[in-house]
């Protein structure tokens, strides 16, 4: 269960407790005027509970995704490493085959990675600080939409080319909005894997839809929806 779901569950439980208590008080001690006041409080509270439930089945229920106006993405390999460049180019080709409403292009660049709109940078990570790793991805989300993402890959882990490609596909999957899979055969398994078809279906489902109404995202924000994700492996 994600932190978002835990926060939402706590919120819903609190609202339910309030509604139950209001009903108990109304039945036991309240006069007519007090009952009207309690009803006036219970009604919007109940509506808020219903709205939060709808939000749970929409915003929280979907994996984060790029906005419909941000589906043309550029993956910029800033590693300066020919082997990683081949791996990230292959990763772009792999996710372009998913059939999702995303259009990925690949190019070589330089400089540091950061949140740069629709440009997903790939850089070598400083393993002296973070410890040995194959790859990590970061994305920042606003109202359920990815606003920017970048990837760091290991520069001195002595990986063979097959593993580099696997890491590149996996981390780019995170940058596109996919979370870890519980299937050990999936490319999105926390240690990576080979299977892509299932993840293609998840990616298509995440992006092939009309954007949710604005009020749901307002509620999503009130429930702590704006956040930055850091995905290891």
Q: pTM of the entire structure?
A: 0.74
Distance, in Å, from the CA atom of 68 to the CA atom of 180, rounded to the nearest integer, reads: 23
Give, in degrees to the nearest 5, the angle at Cα 49 between 43 and 55.
140
Question: Residue 98: is its pLDDT beyond 70?
Answer: yes
Fill in the DSSP letter of residue 136.
Answer: E
CATH class of 65-210: alpha beta
Which residue, among 176, 164, 173, 171, has the nearest Cα to 196 in the 3D structure?
173
Tens-place pLDDT, residues 127-151 = 766 666 889 999 988 777 899 999 9
Domain ranges within the chain, ordered by starting residue: 3-58, 65-210
Tens-place pLDDT, residues 190-203 = 988 999 999 999 99
């Amino acid at each position: 269960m994600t932190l978002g779901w835990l926060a939402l569950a706590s919120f819903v439980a609190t609202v339910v407790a309030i509604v139950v208590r209001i009903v108990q008080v109304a039945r036991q001690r309240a006069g007519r005027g007090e009952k009207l006041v309690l009803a006036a409080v219970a009604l919007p509270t109940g509506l808020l509970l219903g709205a939060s439930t709808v939000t749970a089945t929409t915003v929280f229920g979907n994996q984060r995704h790029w906005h419909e106006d941000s589906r043309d993405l550029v993956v910029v390999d800033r590693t300066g490493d020919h082997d990683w460049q081949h791996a990230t180019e292959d990763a772009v080709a792999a996710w372009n085959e998913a059939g999702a409403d995303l259009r990925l292009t690949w190019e070589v660049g330089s400089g540091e990675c950061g949140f740069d709109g629709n440009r997903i940078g790939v850089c070598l990570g400083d393993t002296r600080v973070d410890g040995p790793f194959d790859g990590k991805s970061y994305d920042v989300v606003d109202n359920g939409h990815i606003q920017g993402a970048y990837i760091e890959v290991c520069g001195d882990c002595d990986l063979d080319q097959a593993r580099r490609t696997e890491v590149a596909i996996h981390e780019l999957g995170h940058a596109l909005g996919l979370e870890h899979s519980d299937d050990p055969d999936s490319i999105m398994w926390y240690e990576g894997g080979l299977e892509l078809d299932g993840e293609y279906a998840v990616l298509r489902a995440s992006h092939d839809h009309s954007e949710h109404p604005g009020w749901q995202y307002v509620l999503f924000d009130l429930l702590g929806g704006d956040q930055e994700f850091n995905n290891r492996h």
